Structure 1
Amino acid sequence: MEKLLLIGIDTRSMINSALQLDFELFSTSYFSTSDTPTIKNQKIILKEKYGESCGAFENQFSNLDILEFSKDYLDEVDYIIPISGVSPSDFSKRHKRKILGTTNVCDIENKFKFFKKIKNEFLTPMTFKLSDVDEAIEIDKSYPNSQFILKPVKGSGGYNINLLNNVSDFQFNDSEFILQEYVTGINVSSSILSTAHAAKTIMNSRLLTLNDFGKQDNFIYAGNILPLTNESVMAEFNGIDDIIKEMNETSENLALEFNLLGSNGVDYIINEKGLYVIELNPRLQGTFECVEKTLGINMLDAHIKACRGELVDIPEPKCYSYKKIIYSPTRMKYEKINLDNIYDLPHIGSITEKSEPLLTIIDSDKDFKKLYEKVELASELINKKAKLHQSDIK
């Protein structure tokens, strides 16, 4: 039996899909959610304990640490699928050959290189490579009618993105940054499947950040709603069918241009000027489980088949799916919450710090309004529970 390693920040959903396939399964993850299936070959960095803090993800997670932690698995397995948090560029040449997915990601993960390659072909925000904050301020003065954001040249999940006017004490340290025009509008995303010679869009979705939930100018990823329709776009918008057609064509063209393999994603912003390409994500997306619920397919199987040259048939959506990541409103000790639509659950008694990811709500329904109400009701209950249990912390 062939041996497959899943490696990344959180492998729970991918393990569930992989268990339906014919592989000897290996997994290395940062998070140890209580609902992650237990398998024989499994390594977890964060060991949650009763009464102890899980710490701050940004300060503790290291892609290089997770690779070092996995070094015996890397040698043993036949195939590797990197998930969010680990890049194909992190692997040695010997191990890189085992990856199922896009491996040449240098011009994709480097946001400035990506911008330079596509700026003459697609609608994109103005983007500048920076040497320091003073340079950013000078560029800002040259465009008095535009607002700008600072982004790391490499990064994902919306972390470390700041409006220029919020960064008077900002330090570059050892990181590289770009200054990018702040395009206001509706965040949307495409999930695509690609072989070496063909690509097709699986699903388009409404992309959600904390900014959509009242955390002003906070761009951290918070979920998706799919498929994209007049209802799920959650905004007054004319011509959604035309936008979806343009998203499909653009995503598929980008997949072929950048030689993507397997399941990958493209993020956009829509406004009155058109469809802006923001970034390309050369990996399995956060929409993974939602796509499975909506289409009734095994996304890991579809990814692997595409890497081997086969594009699976994509059925019509049978329902809406909504994923919402809950970031803890307070420092709290986790106690069981009796809901059937929550995932990525902390271990009982472990402490989640304020603003750190607490758990994920995932639900589906044919009726969008009912689905939205279910997820938002669950969100309200979870936040109330979190605040209730903050007083339990010693």
Structure 2
Amino acid sequence: MTNTDICNFLVIGVDTTFIAASAKSAGYNVYAVDYFDDVDLQWACNDYRSAIKHYNGESHKDRSTFFNPKVLLELAKNLAEKWRIDAVLLSSGLDDRFDVLCELNNIAPILGNSPSTIRNVREKQVFFGKLKELGIPHPRTVVVKSVLEAKEAAAGIGYPVVIKPAGGFGGIGTRAASNPTDIVKAFSSASKISDKVIVQKLIRGFHASISILAGKSAVKILSINEQLLGLPSVFQNEPFGYCGNIVPFQTTKSFFGKCQLIAEKIATHFGLIGSNGVDIVISKDGTPHVIEVNPRFQGTLGCVERVLGINLVDAHVRACLYDELPTIKAPSNFCTRLILYAPKRVVVPDLTTLKGVRNVPPPHSIIERGEPICSVLAEGESRKTSLWKATRLAKVIYNRLQPLNW
């Protein structure tokens, strides 16, 4: 396959808006399957399907909790019957569904990691075993299926631990546990999302991610990013829930070198290609501990493109097909993405006129407490300025929401 063979991309996942916009900007026809019915996704697509459709006066309760990848697959098949699809670009939400990935790959080839490669980095017990062989720092991790197994695993690992769904995303259902009583509550939350549950040593430190681009012969770090998790200021009810990023995370040359070595070892061993992300926790001694690999485009895409001045879909295509990696300039600015969640049951006004708002819901949508409303992006010459601008825009949006009491 060459890029001249690709005219029509199918972009699929929970949140495809940023990828679709990037693909359109790179000159491709874009057909998208998305979970949320974002207005700005429609602007970026030739055609699209959403698992959720917003109608006046209608609410979709617990939208995030009961996400079903099979629904996205059926919508993808529907689009493929209508349009010629040359290749597939993956967003979040499908990483742990090997069956869905294989069926998608039959519709059109996934440009990036194959389903088998994705499975290899997402099968947690095997993945962390390989990290140990490679000498890559990581928290001790055990996969369990019952509360009893979780208690035994936590006792063996040593408290405190993190309990998370093996097949989850965005930090939903993830809880910390300091004793057996906590395990029961945490397991209940995680098991609502996935049959298999992960018990992992809690590493206290700074949450970050490494955005990498892998060709067949080389791996390059695009950026190291600050992760924003569980922020009360954006009404994220999940303690480890994803709230956005600040790009870049400023580091020393020594720390960057550690991350580069980790990226090279993981990408080379598992055969990763294209855009990938590595979630890490930086402990107090400055060690990056690998938490997981996201073997597809990440939620940092919009910020990374703005800070580096690149088109990430174009870079992904060139890395996958031609083993070409871009020259990365030193960042001269910062970009913050905040994901805003509903503080209570609300009606959302028309947000399309506000500059910097992404993942825009249709006007008059009803959003339940704790569910995502939209994203805001803001750039600045410093981290502080970028975050301040994003926070200011978030306040404007929150002030425009109309509360509902029924």
TM-score by length of 1: 0.89
Q: Secondary structure at the match of 1:61?
A: coil
Deviation, 1:143, is 5.5
2:62 aligned residue: 56
Give the alignment partner of residue 242 of structure 1, picking from 238, 254, 259: 254
Moved over 6 A (4+): 214-217
CA contact (8 A) 1:184 1:271 kept: yes
- Give deviations 1:97-156, integer Å, cap 9, x for gaps: 611011111121122221111024111111122231122223434565x30111222222
1:91 aligned residue: 101
User: RMSD of the alignment, in Å?
Assistant: 2.4
Deviation, 1:24, is 3.1
CA contact (8 A) 2:213 2:319 kept: yes
Q: What is the correspondence of 1:301-312 to structure 2 with a 5 Å cutoff?
A: 301-308=314-321, 309-312=323-326
Give the alignment partner of residue 224 of structure 1, picking from 218, 223, 245: 245
Q: Are 2:373 and 1:358 equivalent residues in the alignment?
A: yes
TM-score by length of 2: 0.87
Give the alignment partner of residue 132 of structure 2, picking from 99, 119, 125: 119
Supply the distance in 1 between the matched residues of 2:372 and 2:153 (Cα, whole angstroms): 35
Between stretches 176-185 and 34-43, larger displacement belongs to: 34-43
Structure 2 counterpart of 1:51, one-letter code: G
Structure 1 counterpart of 2:349, one-letter code: E
Unpaired runs of 5+ residues, structure 2, are 1-5
Deviation, 1:74, is 4.2
Structure 1 counterpart of 2:8, one-letter code: K
Give the alignment partner of residue 102 of structure 1, picking from 110, 113, 127: 113
Q: Secondary structure at the match of 2:64?
A: helix
Q: Secondary structure at the match of 2:403?
A: helix
Between stretches 101-110 and 135-144, larger displacement belongs to: 135-144
Number of equivalences: 381
CA contact (8 A) 2:87 2:110 kept: yes
Between stretches 300-309 and 26-35, larger displacement belongs to: 26-35
Q: Are 2:301 and 1:288 equivalent residues in the alignment?
A: yes
Q: Secondary structure at the match of 2:266?
A: helix
Q: Secondary structure at the match of 1:122?
A: coil
Structure 2 counterpart of 1:81, one-letter code: L
Deviation, 1:91, is 3.0
2:148 aligned residue: 134
Q: Secondary structure at the match of 2:220?
A: strand
Supply the distance in 1 between the matched residues of 2:237 and 2:361 (Cα, whole angstroms): 27
Q: What is the correspondence of 1:110-259 to structure 2 with a 5 Å cutoff?
A: 110-120=123-133, 121-142=135-156, 146-164=159-177, 165-169=181-185, 170-171=187-188, 172=191, 175-210=195-230, 218-229=239-250, 240-259=252-271
Alpha carbons of structure 1 residues 59 and 371: separation in structure 2 relative to 1, 3 Å: closer
CA contact (8 A) 1:15 1:37 kept: no
CA contact (8 A) 1:16 1:37 kept: no
CA contact (8 A) 1:109 1:155 kept: no
Unpaired runs of 5+ residues, structure 1, are 231-239
1:14 aligned residue: 19
Structure with more of its chain in helix, by fraction: 2
Supply the distance in 2 between the matched residues of 1:139 and 1:19 (Cα, whole angstroms): 47
Supply the distance in 1 between the matched residues of 2:232 and 2:269 (Cα, whole angstroms): 32
2:279 aligned residue: 267
